[in-house]
């Protein structure tokens, strides 16, 4: 499930960047803190509420780390570099390594999952950015309101489609369609040269890297489109009119005025879309094939992501009576959290520099 | 001349490209919606709305009411905490030196939390509450995980809505001698209300469409929701979509398709509602010469 | 005591009856014939009475293969005892075991028995056989009407990428008179952890102990060898629909999905059993296999019924288990659990073909019923 940028959800009138009102507000806050009673209580409650996300974040990381410790102690760095998800003989003897009890032969490496996570997200971002910018232009420039309103709404609706429904559609409709009509065409006509060679070879039946990347594209396109659309609306009319007056075409205005004006905002929205693609679970679990041990040999093959592995492997992990498999999953969740938090921090950094985007974007399901 | 022709071609390509891009966004959305309706419509029975699930057949009344109860829980918990947090971030957080916005750590944490994958949150709540505190599959852990997911969203959209309240309103209230708390309640929050409500509706749309974190917190049940916070599982609409499409019987597939249709309708109602509120608010604020 | 010996004497009669019933596919006459045989044999034939439960709410979660059966059982049981309400959920066997162990649910269901490490960490857990399930090996070979003969060695080499085409000499040699097409094999395995994977990899391990058994072994998730083109699928439904879209595919699927896979144009193979014969998953072949393992089933129900050295036995069958903690916190919950499970394994109620045939399961043999009854009685 997706959230479009706070603005995209409807607050499309431009939020004044760090408006004066806040300065005024903070002045009044000092007054409020002096006056006891109801407003003091309110202030306290509001403060607690505002602190909750910080606590939740700290709690999440702490619980995952504690739960992951046995796996960290046994698997070490191999967890990140190894390519085999080996539960070991869960029905056989248990052994001890570094003081941690685990089934004989159990060892976990999530390199293929890390690669799969990055591959699907990369496909999504590379495709989504140009599509979103183009769609945002179409929505904001020279389109009558009676047309742009419903189309805008359609973009928001696409953002609101639950990911399990996108997954179902991807696996039952889009995947088989692409595998029958599109992938073979591409695979046969792409030249056999480095890089493009990755697009050749067996095309499978529609579950795998390419379909997952395309469905993730559909998920993040509305996020980036809606945010970019709102950014474009914030571009003052004067410079655009100036460019037109200088004889620039729309394309030139876009390239030289509008896009540079909001570049940092677009970068921020893109990184936020990336964050969502990295963490998407259910749809990818349905479409990717959710493989554990293999990196796809070409762009059509089945693969897996960290998030999909967590949801598909949790049940199996419980058959490991030593709890070691659960610990490995916790470590995988920790790695995923670190990657997505890192991506988000970068995004916030970019945005705080641009100071234009004020609401959070991106949610993963 | 040649250069001009090149420019015109480029302009044409740009226009076409933009329209093609828009089509690439809207087209799949339409394809998907039509697909969902086309799959569910041929076997649609209205009784699905009123009959509870019996196994993988029957209706979806238990899942519909379960989703409604979960959304109500999210509205109460995340709505209260998220709006309070947003008010704090926008209005009450102490300013820092140099006139810079205070509470940047809280704001950062809110934003970062909104990017943590829901499966990660679900896994943590499962370990900590379902198992750790022995709450079992039940309403409370499900509402907790959904709330943690959407509180950042509600807080930031509330903050954003408050930030858009024109400075003149605050100055006017102050000039009229209103106390800051009274002005906040009666003028500022009231003016920002459409924005806040829009944020809440979208947050509800998010929580109604979640699957991954609910699988390991809410459980599933054929019964209607019971008045117990813990130890009693709750049904929800995404479960039949995720589980029943994988079942051998045709009734199960029909239920999965029906659940998908109901979910889409629910989300559409929430999103269109949010859009209508925003449009009205925009027209209103334009009318008052903002 | 006398009950037990009498029960043993009746075994062959029962297996035959069970086979006939299943062959008749649960028509009403067939199900009435079960109950006639049951009550007509001796009173020992239905050795258990179903306790009258107190008002209670029971929760069940676990195996997705057993979930459809629970969904048939629960309303029927509640019709008899409306004071009990039952919540069922299909989350997977591992979750069923784990949630029963930590008390999140009252009854966990699992396709796989408890492992040594689980039993040592939760010694009060019981795995109680409830019914018998069967696994079929499905494939998508357009135009192939014969049931292709396969064995564990060939399957293990397919899943290791050593045999890659349907006309591989090893397969053609095993299927004289059948023209095997030249078509690449696409091996499908489950991406989610699964009891189906557990019994399938057990078959591969037992038939190919030095190859598969040594290097990969068995479990609900195993380290599948990386084979180009191999596909992972989510759930039995994913296996069937994936195979439907992939000519040349091969997949292991729970027998509940038999009619769906036939409807999707797939077919299923004959498997070589531990005695060297090739068998189809007919009720008779399943009964033969179950009969062999009945005598060997220990009191706690923990046994693998794969690859028995039985002439005429189909080699991949398993007990479906209820995982229950024998130490219940409330006596009334314990009584309700006992009542529900007694009802479920009773040949007159839950184990009658009226319910089992809907998911193509086979009933428990009488000796196992009496063993399960004893285990159920231990739930307090």
At residue A66, the pLDDT reads 94
What would the pLDDT profile of C151-190 be if each residue is shown by its tens digit?
999 999 999 999 999 999 999 999 999 999 999 999 999 8
Beta-ladder partners of B146 = none
Characterize the bridge pairing of strands C149-150 and C270-272: parallel
Q: How many CB pairs under 8 A join B and C?
A: 76
Q: Is B269 on the interface with A (CB under 8 A)?
A: no
Q: Is B160 on the interface with A (CB under 8 A)?
A: yes
The H-or-E segment that residue A41 falls in is helix A38-75
Contact B208 A172 (CB under 8 A): no
* Mean pLDDT across C232-253: 86
What's the distance, CA A298 to chain centroid?
23
Query: In angstroms, rounded to a whole number, what is the distance separating the alpha carbons of residues B130 and B137?
Result: 6
Q: Which two tokens stand for residue B23?
A: 């089509």
The residue ranking higher by pLDDT, C281 or B15, is C281
A93 contacts on C by Cβ (under 8 Å) = 116
If one counts every other C-beta atom within 10 angstroms of the C-beta of residue A208, the result is 28
Beta-ladder partners of C61 = C89, C108
Chain A from 322 to 341: CB within 8 A of any C CB: 322
Tokens 């699988």, residue located:
B215
What are the residues whose beta carbons fall under 8 Å from the beta carbon of A144, sequence distance 6 or more?
none
At residue A98, the pLDDT reads 84
Query: In angstroms, rounded to a whole number, what is the distance separating the alpha carbons of residues C295 and C216?
Result: 30
Contact C260 B248 (CB under 8 A): yes
CATH architecture, domain C20-133+318-377: 3-Layer(aba) Sandwich (3.40)
Interface probe for B, chosen from C60, C68, C98, C259 (most Cβ of B below 10 Å), is C68
Query: In angstroms, rounded to a whole number, what is the distance separating the alpha carbons of residues B108 and B156?
Result: 11
B111 contacts on A by Cβ (under 8 Å) = 344, 348, 360
Nearest CA in chain B to A17: B163
- Identify the CA nearest to B198 among candidates A156, A235, A271, A149: A156
Query: In angstroms, rounded to a whole number, what is the distance separating the alpha carbons of residues B119 and A284?
Result: 12
Q: What domain range includes position A156?
A: 112-317
CA distance B47 to chain C (A): 19
- Identify the CA nearest to C174 among candidates C203, C148, C137, C213: C148
CB A63 within 8 A of CB B131: no
CB A253 within 8 A of CB A243: yes
B269 contacts on A by Cβ (under 8 Å) = none
Nearest to B101 among A18, A32, A132 (CB): A18
Q: Is C70 on the interface with B (CB under 8 A)?
A: yes
Q: Is A157 on the interface with C (CB under 8 A)?
A: no
CB A319 within 8 A of CB C112: yes
Residues with pLDDT less than 50, chain A = 1-36, 356-365
Provide the domain count of chain A: 1
First to last CA, chain C: 22
- B46 domain residue, yes or no: no
Nearest to B221 among C68, C87, C104 (CB): C87
C232 contacts on A by Cβ (under 8 Å) = 289-292, 302, 304
CA distance B213 to chain A (A): 8
A92 contacts on C by Cβ (under 8 Å) = 116, 217
B94 contacts on A by Cβ (under 8 Å) = 26, 29-30
Contact A290 C118 (CB under 8 A): no
Topology agreement, domain C4-9+135-289 and domain C20-133+318-377: yes
Q: Is C246 on the interface with A (CB under 8 A)?
A: yes
- The SS3 call for residue C136 is strand
Q: Is B233 on the interface with C (CB under 8 A)?
A: yes
CB C348 within 8 A of CB C46: yes
Contact C192 A321 (CB under 8 A): no
| Domain CATH for B273 | 1.10.3720.10
The HSE-up count of residue A33 (CA atoms within 13 Å, CB side) is 14
Provide the domain count of chain B: 1
Contact B248 C74 (CB under 8 A): no
Nearest CA in chain B to C70: B55
Contact B56 C236 (CB under 8 A): no
Task: Give how far Cα B261 sits from Cα of A163, B33, B36, B266, C166, Å.
Answer: 13, 9, 6, 9, 42
CB C254 within 8 A of CB C65: yes
CB C247 within 8 A of CB A347: no
CB C133 within 8 A of CB C65: yes
Q: Which two tokens stand for residue B141?
A: 């852990």
- B40 domain residue, yes or no: no
| Domain CATH for A180 | 1.10.3720.10
Q: What is the DSSP letter of A262?
A: T
CA distance A277 to chain B (A): 9
- The SS3 call for residue A290 is coil
Contact C259 B245 (CB under 8 A): no
CB C146 within 8 A of CB C178: yes
Q: What domain range includes position B263?
A: 62-283
Asked if the model's pLDDT at residue C242 lies above 80, the reply is yes
- If phi > 0 it is left, if psi is from -120 to 50 it is alpha, else beta; for residue A315 that is alpha
Helices (H), chain C: 2-9, 11-23, 28-41, 67-80, 93-101, 116-121, 152-159, 169-174, 195-207, 214-215, 235-244, 258-263, 283-294, 331-345, 353-356, 366-377
Query: In angstroms, rounded to a whole number, what is the distance separating the alpha carbons of residues A338 and A267?
Result: 20
Widest CA span in chain B: 78
Nearest to C68 among B219, B221, B248 (CB): B248
Sign of CA dihedral B103, B107, B110, B112: negative
- Identify the CA nearest to C306 among candidates C200, C219, C222, C229: C200
Q: Which band of pLDDT confidence, cut at 50, 70 and 90, is reported for residue C24?
A: very low
Q: Is A184 on the interface with C (CB under 8 A)?
A: no
If one counts every other C-beta atom within 10 angstroms of the C-beta of residue B72, the result is 14
Between A249-258, B116-125, C45-54, C71-80, the lowest mean confidence (pLDDT) is in: C45-54
- The SS3 call for residue A158 is helix
Beta-ladder partners of C107 = C60
**Residues belonging to chain A:** 365
CA distance C300 to chain B (A): 27
Q: What is the DSSP letter of C220?
A: S
Q: Is B67 on the interface with A (CB under 8 A)?
A: no
Q: Is C117 on the interface with A (CB under 8 A)?
A: yes
If one counts every other C-beta atom within 10 angstroms of the C-beta of residue C261, the result is 25
Q: E strands along chain B, which residues?
A: 53-54, 57-58
Q: What is the DSSP letter of A16?
A: P
Characterize the bridge pairing of strands C56-62 and C107-110: parallel
What are the residues whose beta carbons fall under 8 Å from the beta carbon of C317, sequence distance 6 or more?
C132, C133, C134, C135, C199, C286, C289, C290, C305, C306, C362
CATH architecture, domain C4-9+135-289: 3-Layer(aba) Sandwich (3.40)
- A58 domain residue, yes or no: no
Question: What's chain C's average pLDDT?
Answer: 83
Q: Which two tokens stand for residue B147?
A: 């709330």
Query: In angstroms, rounded to a whole number, what is the distance separating the alpha carbons of residues A103 and A328?
Result: 13
- Identify the CA nearest to B32 among candidates A171, A293, A150: A171
Contact A31 B8 (CB under 8 A): no
CA distance C311 to chain B (A): 31
Asked if the model's pLDDT at residue C227 lies above 60, the reply is yes
Query: In angstroms, rounded to a whole number, what is the distance separating the alpha carbons of residues C9 and C41?
Result: 11
C228 contacts on A by Cβ (under 8 Å) = 202, 297, 301
Query: In angstroms, rounded to a whole number, what is the distance separating the alpha carbons of residues B184 and C283?
Result: 75
The residue ranking higher by pLDDT, C235 or A12, is C235
At residue A353, the pLDDT reads 65
Sign of CA dihedral C178, C179, C181, C184: positive
- A184 domain residue, yes or no: yes
Contact B55 C71 (CB under 8 A): yes
The whole model's pTM is what?
0.83
CA distance B66 to chain A (A): 17
Q: What is the DSSP letter of B99?
A: G
C231 contacts on A by Cβ (under 8 Å) = 204-205, 207, 289, 302
DSSP A184-241: HHHHHHS-SSTTGGGG-S--TTS-SHHHHHHHHHHHHHHHHHHHHHHHHHHS-HHHHH
- The SS3 call for residue B156 is helix
Contact A314 C95 (CB under 8 A): yes
Q: Which two tokens stand for residue B199?
A: 């944020």
Q: Which two tokens stand for residue A215?
A: 């469905």
The predicted complex's ipTM stands at 0.86
Query: In angstroms, rounded to a whole number, what is the distance separating the alpha carbons of residues C162 and B48?
Result: 50
User: ∠A325-A328-A333 over CA atoms, to 5°?
Assistant: 130
Nearest to C191 among A171, A291, A301 (CB): A291
Query: In angstroms, rounded to a whole number, what is the distance separating the alpha carbons of residues C142 and B209?
Result: 39
Domain limits of chain C? 4-9+135-289, 20-133+318-377
DSSP helix, strand, coil percent of chain A (3-state; round to 5): 70, 5, 30
Q: Is C318 on the interface with A (CB under 8 A)?
A: no
Q: Is C64 on the interface with B (CB under 8 A)?
A: yes
* Mean pLDDT across C228-234: 78
Residues with pLDDT less than 50, chain B = 97-100, 287-290
Alpha-carbon radius of gyration of chain B? 23
Contact C57 B232 (CB under 8 A): yes
Query: In angstroms, rounded to a whole number, what is the distance separating the alpha carbons of residues B125 and A60?
Result: 9
Dihedrals phi, psi of A62, to nearest 5 degrees? -65, -50
Helices (H), A255-323: 259-261, 263-279, 282-287, 306-317
Tokens 């559609």, residue located:
A169
If one counts every other C-beta atom within 10 angstroms of the C-beta of residue A73, the result is 13
Q: Which two tokens stand for residue B82?
A: 């998220």
């Amino acid at each position: 499930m997706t959230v479009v940028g706070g603005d995209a959800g409807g607050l499309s009138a431009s939020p004044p960047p760090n408006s004066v009102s806040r300065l005024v507000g903070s002045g009044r806050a000092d007054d409020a803190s002096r006056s006891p009673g109801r407003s003091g209580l309110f202030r306290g409650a509001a403060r607690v509420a505002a602190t909750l996300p910080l606590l939740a974040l700290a709690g999440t990381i702490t619980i995952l780390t504690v739960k992951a410790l046995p796996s960290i102690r046994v698997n070490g760095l191999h967890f990140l570099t190894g390519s085999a998800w080996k539960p070991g003989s869960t029905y056989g003897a248990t052994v001890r390594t570094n003081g941690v009890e685990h089934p004989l032969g159990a060892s976990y490496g999530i390199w293929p999952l890390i690669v799969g996570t990055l591959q699907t997200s990369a496909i999504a971002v590379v495709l989504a950015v140009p599509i979103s910018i183009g769609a945002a232009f179409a929505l904001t420039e020279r389109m009558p309101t009676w047309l742009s309103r419903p189309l805008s709404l359609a973009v928001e609706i696409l953002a609101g489609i639950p990911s399990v429904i996108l997954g179902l559609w991807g696996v039952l409709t889009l995947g088989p369609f692409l595998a029958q009509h599109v992938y073979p065409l591409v695979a046969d006509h792409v030249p056999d040269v480095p890089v493009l060679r990755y697009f050749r070879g067996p095309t499978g039946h529609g579950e795998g890297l390419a379909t997952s990347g395309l469905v993730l594209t559909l998920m993040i396109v509305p996020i980036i489109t809606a945010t970019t659309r709102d950014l474009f609306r914030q571009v003052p009319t004067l410079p655009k009119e100036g460019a037109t007056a200088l004889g620039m075409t729309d394309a030139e205005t876009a390239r030289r005025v509008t896009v540079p004006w909001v570049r940092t905002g677009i970068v921020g929205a893109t990184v936020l879309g990336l964050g969502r693609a990295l963490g998407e679970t259910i749809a990818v679990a349905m479409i990717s094939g959710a493989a554990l041990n293999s990196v796809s040999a070409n762009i059509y093959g089945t693969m897996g992501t960290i998030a999909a592995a967590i949801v598909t492997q949790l049940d199996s992990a419980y058959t490991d009576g030593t709890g070691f498999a659960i610990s490995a999953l916790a470590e995988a969740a920790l790695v995923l959290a670190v990657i997505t938090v890192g991506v988000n921090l970068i995004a916030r950094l970019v945005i705080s520099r641009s100071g234009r985007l004020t609401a959070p974007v991106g949610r993963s399901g | 001349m040649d250069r001009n022709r090149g420019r015109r071609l480029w302009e044409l390509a740009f226009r076409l490209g933009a329209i093609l891009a828009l089509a690439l966004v809207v087209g799949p959305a339409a394809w998907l919606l039509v697909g969902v309706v086309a799959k569910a419509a041929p076997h649609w029975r209205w009784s699905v709305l009123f009959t509870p699930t019996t196994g993988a057949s029957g209706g979806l009344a238990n899942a519909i009411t379960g989703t409604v109860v979960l959304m109500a829980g999210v509205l109460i918990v995340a709505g209260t905490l998220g709006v309070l947090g947003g008010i704090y971030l926008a209005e009450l957080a102490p300013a820092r030196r140099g006139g810079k916005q205070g509470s940047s750590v809280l704001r950062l944490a809110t934003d970062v939390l909104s990017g943590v994958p829901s499966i990660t949150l679900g896994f943590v709540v499962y370990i900590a509450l379902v198992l750790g505190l022995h709450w079992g599959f039940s309403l409370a852990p499900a509402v907790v995980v959904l709330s943690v997911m959407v509180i950042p969203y509600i807080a930031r959209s509330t903050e954003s809505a408050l930030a858009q309240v024109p400075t003149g309103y605050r100055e006017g209230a102050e000039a009229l001698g209103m106390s800051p708390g009274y002005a906040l309640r009666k003028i500022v929050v009231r003016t920002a209300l459409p924005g806040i409500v829009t944020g809440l509706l979208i947050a509800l749309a998010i929580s109604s469409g979640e699957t991954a974190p609910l699988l390991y917190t809410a459980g599933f049940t054929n019964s209607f929701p019971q008045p117990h916070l813990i130890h009693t599982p709750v049904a929800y609409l995404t479960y039949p979509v995720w589980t029943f499409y994988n079942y051998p019987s045709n009734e199960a597939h029909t239920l999965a398709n029906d659940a998908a249709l109901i979910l889409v309708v629910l989300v559409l109602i929430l999103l269109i509602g949010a859009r209508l509120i925003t449009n009205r608010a925009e027209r209103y604020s334009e009318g008052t010469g903002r | 005591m006398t009950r037990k010996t009498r029960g043993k004497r009746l075994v062959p009669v029962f297996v035959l009856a069970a086979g006939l019933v299943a062959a008749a596919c649960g028509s009403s006459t067939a199900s009435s014939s079960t109950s006639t045989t049951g009550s007509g044999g001796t009173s020992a034939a239905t050795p258990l009475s179903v306790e009258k439960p107190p008002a209670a709410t029971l929760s069940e979660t676990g195996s997705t293969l057993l979930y459809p059966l629970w969904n048939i059982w629960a309303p029927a049981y509640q019709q008899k005892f409306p004071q009990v309400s039952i919540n069922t959920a299909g989350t997977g066997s591992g979750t069923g075991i784990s949630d029963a162990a930590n008390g999140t649910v009252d009854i966990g269901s699992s396709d796989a028995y408890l492992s040594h490490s689980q039993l040592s960490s939760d010694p009060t857990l019981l795995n109680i056989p409830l019914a018998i399930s069967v696994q079929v090996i499905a494939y998508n070979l357009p135009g192939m009407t014969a049931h292709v003969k396969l064995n564990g060695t060939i399957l293990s080499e397919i899943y290791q990428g050593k045999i890659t085409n349907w006309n591989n000499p090893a397969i053609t040699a095993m299927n004289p008179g059948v023209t095997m097409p030249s078509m690449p094999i696409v091996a499908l395995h489950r991406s989610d952890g699964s009891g189906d994977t557990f019994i399938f990899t057990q078959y591969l391990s037992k038939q190919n102990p030095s190859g598969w058994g040594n290097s990969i072994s068995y479990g609900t998730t195993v380290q599948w060898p990386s084979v180009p083109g191999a596909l992972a699928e989510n759930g039995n439904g994913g296996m069937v629909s994936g195979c439907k879209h992939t000519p040349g595919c091969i997949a292991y699927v729970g027998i509940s999905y038999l009619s769906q896979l036939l409807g999707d144009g797939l077919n299923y193979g004959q498997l070589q059993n531990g005695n060297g014969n090739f068998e189809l998953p007919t009720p008779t072949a399943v009964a033969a296999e179950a009969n062999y393992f009945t005598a060997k089933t220990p009191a706690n129900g923990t046994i693998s019924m794969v690859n028995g050295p039985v002439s005429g036995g189909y080699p991949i069958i398993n007990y479906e288990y209820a995982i229950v903690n024998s130490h219940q916190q409330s006596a009334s919950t314990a009584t309700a659990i006992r009542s529900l499970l007694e009802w479920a394994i009773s040949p007159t109620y839950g184990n009658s073909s009226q319910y089992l045939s809907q998911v193509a399961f086979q009933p428990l043999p009488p000796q196992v019923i009496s063993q399960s009854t004893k285990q159920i009685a231990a739930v307090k």
